[in-house]
Structure 1
Amino acid sequence: MQKRYLLDTMKNLFITFKKENPNESCSYSYFTKQRPFYVKPSAVDGRDTCQCKMHTNTQYMLNAIYSNKIISESNMTQVIEKTVSATDNRLCMQVNCASYNIKEIIYDTQNKSRMLKWQEWVRPSEIIDNKSGKCKLKVTKNVKEITEGTVEELMENLEWQL
C-alpha cells in the first residue's frame, strides 16, 4: 500500500467524524484503532522544516498563549469557530457576510506586560562571499527563531494573523 500521512490530529479527525456521522456509535479509542497501517501520523513538529509559514507561526503564537493559560483553546480551528458566524461560508470567513457580528477571543489577562517567548519562522537574508572573494551572493533562508514579546503584543499579533 502507498504510505499516506494524516493532515490533522486524530482528536480533530474524530470530532469531524462525529459531526458528519452523528448516528454512528464509535468511541475515540475504537476510532484510533481502525486507522489503516499505511496511514501514518504526520510529524510536523518533529521536523525543522517550514510547511506554511503563516499558519505555522499563528499556531506557535496560539500554543504560547495556551501554555500560559491566557486562552482556553489550543486548536486554531476551535478559535476560528468562536470568532466567525459560519466557517463553511466563505464570505463569513472573509468578514463580509450579512450575519457577521464581531466575536472576540476571550483572554484571561492579568498581566499584559509579562514577557513571553514563542517560536516563529522568519526569512532573513544574508550576503555570502564565495571562496575567491570576487562575487557576493544574497541568500534567503527559512529559519525558526525564538521571538520574545509581551502578552499584549502576542495577543495583537495573533488577532491580526487570524
Structure 2
Amino acid sequence: MATKNDRETCLCKLHENPKFKINRLYSEKVINTNNVDSLLESVTCDTNNEQCMYRTCNACKDKKIPINDVFTGKIVEWFLWTSKKVARERLNEKGEVVETQHTMTVKDLESGTIETLVTELQTDLHRTTM
C-alpha cells in the first residue's frame, strides 16, 4: 500500500516550499538546523505568540535567519511546488478531439544563488507561519 512518503504530491505549497529551502540551506551548511521549529524560535520572541508568528511583533518582526558565512554567488538547486497550466486533448461527446486547459501542481527543480535562496526563505517566513 502506498503511503504519503511514496507519492510526489504537494502536501501544502505554502508550507512545503520553505521546508525544501531550509533543507537545501542546511545541506550547504548555511544554516545550523533543518528543524522548522528551531528555525522559527531563532526569528521570533515566542512561537506561541500570534504576533510573533505572523511577524507583526515589534520586537522580532525584523529578525533574520542566522546564517553562516558562505561563498557568495554559489549556485544551488532546490525543489519547489509550482502550479502550471497544461493543455490536454480529450474526446468530446461527438468523438472530436478537443484541447482543454488544466492546472497541475508539479515539483520543479529551481536554481539560484545561496543569497537568493536565503532571501526567498526570509520572504516565506514573513508570509506564513510553518
TM-score, normalised by the number of residues in structure 1: 0.67
| Shift of residue 55, structure 1, vs aligned partner | 0.8
Equivalent position of 1:105 in the other structure: 65
| Shift of residue 64, structure 1, vs aligned partner | 0.4
Whose RCO is larger (CA < 8 A, sep 6+)? 2
Equivalent position of 1:139 in the other structure: 102
Structure with greater Cα Rg: 1
Equivalent position of 2:39 in the other structure: 79
| Shift of residue 110, structure 1, vs aligned partner | 2.7
Equivalent position of 1:156 in the other structure: 119
Equivalent position of 2:88 in the other structure: 128
1:77-135, Cα deviation, whole Å (9 max, x unpaired): 111111011111111222333544632212123322111011111111012232433x3
Identity of aligned residues (%): 27
Q: In structure 2, how many angstroms separate the alpha carbons of the residues matched to 1:91 and 1:52?
A: 23
Q: In structure 1, how many angstroms separate the alpha carbons of the residues matched to 2:5 and 2:67?
A: 26
Q: Which amino acid aligns with 2:19?
A: Q
Any gaps of 5 or more consecutive residues in structure 1?
1-42
Q: Which amino acid aligns with 2:56?
A: N
Higher strand fraction: Structure 1 or Structure 2? 2
Contact 2:21–2:117, Cα closer than 8 Å, also in 1: yes
Any gaps of 5 or more consecutive residues in structure 2?
126-130
Q: In structure 1, how many angstroms separate the alpha carbons of the residues matched to 2:4 and 2:36?
A: 16
CA RMSD after TM alignment: 1.8
- Call closer, same or farther: CA 1:160–1:145 in 2, change over 3 Å: same
